[in-house]
């Protein structure tokens, strides 16, 4: 039976259907669709929900994506992810005390949250045996909204995951786990840039940074005094980072590429803020007890399509930057979807990671 991974972002919805045979996956189909041309964050929640529902229905039907169950994920302010240290106890013991132990780390009423945790390891600190715990809290209200969305679409609910973890799941499925390697997965979407630092298959740090594509579009709209949809079009068609070799060319013919320079200039402060936050995350990880250095950044998300963004980040972070291709090694059920998959590899990691998760 087929299972669908659905990534409902703030700007676009992505759906992925895989087929499993003999422990190997092949991709049946993938689709991505913008929820609206306009930014939906300021909209009335009922209006936004309707747009999301319509986009989900269309992305499934337009791409002939079918399945019995569906998994989805949450991110940003919808979820709290914390790494905490607690006095040593077993998994069973923690299960019964997590609501009390976790309370101080969750900024809203813990009794109105769905909790999950994972014990990452054991440490000795100040002569005390402790456990390192990854705590995840999602508001019950948010979980219920997603469950009713899935039900209204006629599917069984699979797993409700977190964008960052689905991203990691996808990375490991495509690129494998190397025990000694530390990589930073950076998924730059519209509202958030999800960062996940993975060490030998374990998430050691994750965060959603509130700088991403929608702010870049707003920067362009402000600079060119145009509407959000117009700026979005300009960003996709002519936007991009001007790297040094291009800069030299541009100084010779300034009038022709004037708009390009203005668009680039308008986006730079936001991109710099994002890079500062990424660096902060790296510093936090590298200054922790483990002290391993990050080998590379693997970039994904719609905003990773911004021309030369990979080169820019690589230069600033002084690290290799690779583009995530979720469909790199997967067999295709139908050769006709090849072109679509080629263009969608960057969008796909979260929905692909979700489609790998089977309902328990």
Chain residues in the site for Mg ion (CB under 5 A):
9, 189
Quote the least distance from Cβ 278 to ligand ATP, whole Å. 15
* Sheet containing 202-209: order of strands: 202-209, 193-199, 182-188, 296-300, 321-323
Per partner kind, with CB cut-offs from 5 to 8 A, the member of Mg ion, ligand ATP, none near residue 236 is ligand ATP
How far apart (Å, rounded) are the C-alpha atoms in residues 34 and 244? 33
Half-sphere exposure in the Cβ direction for 44 (13 Å, CA): 3
Residue number, 9 or 345, with CB nearest to Mg ion: 9
Q: Which of 57, 59, 65, 134 minimizes the C-alpha distance to 102? A: 134
Among 101, 232, 257, 310, binds ligand ATP (CB under 6 A): 232
Contact at 8 Å (CB) between 306 and 238? no
Half-sphere exposure in the Cβ direction for 129 (13 Å, CA): 3
Does 305 participate in binding ligand ATP (rule CB under 6 A)? yes
Tokens read off for 91: 């998994």
Residue number, 11 or 282, with CB nearest to ligand ATP: 11
Residue number, 182 or 274, with CB nearest to ligand ATP: 274
Per partner kind, with CB cut-offs from 5 to 8 A, the member of ligand ATP, Mg ion, none near residue 353 is none
Does 306 participate in binding ligand ATP (rule CB under 6 A)? yes
Cβ neighbour number for residue 160 with a 10 Å cutoff: 20
Per partner kind, with CB cut-offs from 5 to 8 A, the member of ligand ATP, Mg ion, none near residue 302 is ligand ATP
Does 12 participate in binding ligand ATP (rule CB under 6 A)? yes
Quote the least distance from Cβ 320 to ligand ATP, whole Å. 21
Q: Which residues, in sequence order, are CB contacts of 256 under 8 Å at separation 6+?
A: none
Does 303 participate in binding ligand ATP (rule CB under 6 A)? yes
Tokens read off for 54: 């319509």
Among 67, 102, 302, 349, binds ligand ATP (CB under 6 A): 302
Per partner kind, with CB cut-offs from 5 to 8 A, the member of Mg ion, ligand ATP, none near residue 349 is none
Quote the least distance from Cβ 130 to ligand ATP, whole Å. 34
Residue number, 75 or 206, with CB nearest to ligand ATP: 75
Find the binding residues for ligand ATP in span 63-122 (CB under 6 A). Answer: 75
Q: Which of 141, 135, 70, 81 minimizes the C-alpha distance to 111? A: 141
Give the interface segment with ligand ATP, choosing from 18-26, 166-174, 295-303, 331-339 (CB under 6 A).
Answer: 295-303
Binding mask 188-217 for ligand ATP (x = CB under 6 A): -xxxx-------------------xxx--x
Contact at 8 Å (CB) between 112 and 140? yes
Q: What share of the chain is helix, strand, coil (3-state, %, to 5)?
A: 45, 30, 25
Contact at 8 Å (CB) between 136 and 78? no
**Site residues for ligand ATP per CB under 6 A:** 9-12, 75, 189-192, 212-214, 217, 232, 235-236, 239, 301-303, 305-306, 347
């Amino acid at each position: 039976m087929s299972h669908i991974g659905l990534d409902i972002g703030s700007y676009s919805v992505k759906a992925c259907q895989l087929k499993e045979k003999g422990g190997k996956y092949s991709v049946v189909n993938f689709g991505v669709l913008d929820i609206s041309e306009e930014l939906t964050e300021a909209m009335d929640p009922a209006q936004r929900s309707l747009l999301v529902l319509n986009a989900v229905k269309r992305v499934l039907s337009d791409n002939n994506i079918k399945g019995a169950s569906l998994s989805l994920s949450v991110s940003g302010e919808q979820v709290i992810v914390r790494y905490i240290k607690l006095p040593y106890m077993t998994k069973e013991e923690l299960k019964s005390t997590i609501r009390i132990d976790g309370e101080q780390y969750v900024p809203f009423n813990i009794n109105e949250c769905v909790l999950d945790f994972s014990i990452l390891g054991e440490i000795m600190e100040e002569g005390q045996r402790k456990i390192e715990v990854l705590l995840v809290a999602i508001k019950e209200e948010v979980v219920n909204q997603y469950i009713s969305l899935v039900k209204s679409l006629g599917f069984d609910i699979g797993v409700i995951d977190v964008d960052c973890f689905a991203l990691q799941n996808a990375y490991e499925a495509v690129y494998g786990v190397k025990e000694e390697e530390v990589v930073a997965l950076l998924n730059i979407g519209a509202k958030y840039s999800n960062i996940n630092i993975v060490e030998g298959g374990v998430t050691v740090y994750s965060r959603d940074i509130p700088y991403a594509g929608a702010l870049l579009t707003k920067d362009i709209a402000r600079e060119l005094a145009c509407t959000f949809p117009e700026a979005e079009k300009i960003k996709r068609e002519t936007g991009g980072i001007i790297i040094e070799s291009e800069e030299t060319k541009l100084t010779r013919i300034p009038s022709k590429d004037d708009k390009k320079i203005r668009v680039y200039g308008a986006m730079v402060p936001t991109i710099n803020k994002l890079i500062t936050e990424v660096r902060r995350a790296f510093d936090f990880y590298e200054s922790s007890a483990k002290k391993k250095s990050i080998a590379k950044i693997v970039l994904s998300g719609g905003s990773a399509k911004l021309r030369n963004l990979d080169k820019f980040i690589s230069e600033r972070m002084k690290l290799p930057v690779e583009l995530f291709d979720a469909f790199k090694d997967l067999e295709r059920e139908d050769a006709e979807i090849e072109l679509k998959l080629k263009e969608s590899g960057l969008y796909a990691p979260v929905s692909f990671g979700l489609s790998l998760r089977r309902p328990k």
